Amino acid sequence: MSGKGPVGENEVLKVVVQQPRFRAGLWYKVLSADLYVLYCGVKFDQSDHQHRVTMNGSWLTLPIESGQRNALIKDVKLAGGSLKKPASTIRQNCMCKKFPYGDRLAGVVSILEGWPRIRMVDLNNALFEELIRVLGLKVALKYDWWDRSQQGLGKVEKLEACLQEHVGAERYMYLAGGGGLDYMGYDSLKGPVETRFQKMHEDVSPDSVLQLLAKHDDPLSVIKGCAHWMTKQGGRREWNER
């Protein structure tokens, strides 16, 4: 288990808003958060990791219909046919003899092999929830389905609207990815009492969390060591620091 208990009455709720992804750095966010809002109503980025991961240095990609470059994440459709090929790839790469804990991925493979629905986001969310279960993490999930593209807002304003919609606490901390520094600062958001930005450590593998689960007895220890949080005052905070 993560070791993170419930938020106390006087403690600050830690919140993450992001699309479901499967790299180790993203799971540092999941480990750190009390509330994770899955951001489904923003534009799909085909060059990002929303429909693909790297596995042993090679891409494992979900098949999606063509012509969806400008679609919202919540509307992206999987291509017709089964998902047995990516399931087989996971079996071959992470459930073989050199991965002693490969059986942890049985649920992931089962989801892929039996997936009946067409929307990519439904599959990503199901896989995300399965990995949270396998890792034993304690984090509340909410889903943001609003079409933020139609509101005439910038990135920060869209994020602010999402937080206002889903965070009921009066005191909360926003945990942002390091890339957020490209378009916002520590004081850009009006709601949180503090914003922190993630700093990835050097030499962290770009591969998915699937390998960590299959290879390491304690994958959470690897996740805990892959990043830290930067504060406005120049301080460094670990995953479990309020």
In the structure encoding, which two tokens stand for residue 87, read together?
A: 């399931």
Angle ∠(38,208,186) on CA atoms, nearest 5: 50
Residue 212: what pLDDT?
93
Residue 7: what pLDDT?
62
Closest alpha carbon to 30 in 145, 127, 110: 127
Residue pair 149/72 in contact (Cβ under 8 Å)? The answer is yes
3-state SS class at 167 = coil
Predicted model pTM = 0.91
What DSSP designation does 211 have? Answer: H
Q: What is the pLDDT along the chain (242 residues), one digit of tens a residue?
A: 344 545 666 689 999 999 888 888 899 999 999 999 999 988 898 878 889 998 888 999 999 999 888 899 999 999 988 899 999 999 999 999 999 999 999 999 999 999 998 999 999 999 999 999 999 999 999 999 998 877 678 999 999 999 999 998 789 999 999 999 999 999 999 999 999 999 999 989 888 999 999 999 999 999 999 999 999 999 999 999 98
Residue 8: what pLDDT?
62
